[in-house]
Amino acid sequence: MLRNPTADWMKLAHDGYALWAESMMVVGMRTTDMMTGKGSADENLLMVTEKMQASAELAVMLATGALTSPQQNAHKAVRHYRKRVRANRKRLSRTRP
């Protein structure tokens, strides 16, 4: 099966935009919580530890050769972070009225 390189890059652009948009939603929800006093120390600690863990996991994938091409590396990185950001957005959204 032949792959369409242009379609692959377009998918990466779309997924990258979705990651950016969801990230901004999460930042907005967390900032609002902090400013209104609804945030907690546990949530702040979770925010930092999740970022460190996600970065370490991606670094291991890169270091072990699990990713082989720049394009594959970019797709994998976006998918890796998007999964976590989406989970944060859903979790934070549940606490909203």
How many whole angstroms separate alpha carbon 58 and alpha carbon 39?
Answer: 28
Q: Which range of residues forms the domain containing residue 89?
A: 39-97
Q: How many domains does the chain have?
A: 1
Q: pLDDT tens digits for 33-44?
A: 888 888 788 888
The verdict on residue 25 lying in a domain is no
The verdict on residue 89 lying in a domain is yes
Position 1 confidence tier, pLDDT thresholds 50, 70, 90: very low
Are 54 and 81 spatial neighbours (Cβ–Cβ below 8 Å)? yes
Longest CA span, the chain: 54
The verdict on residue 20 lying in a domain is no
The verdict on residue 49 lying in a domain is yes
The verdict on residue 64 lying in a domain is yes
The verdict on residue 33 lying in a domain is no
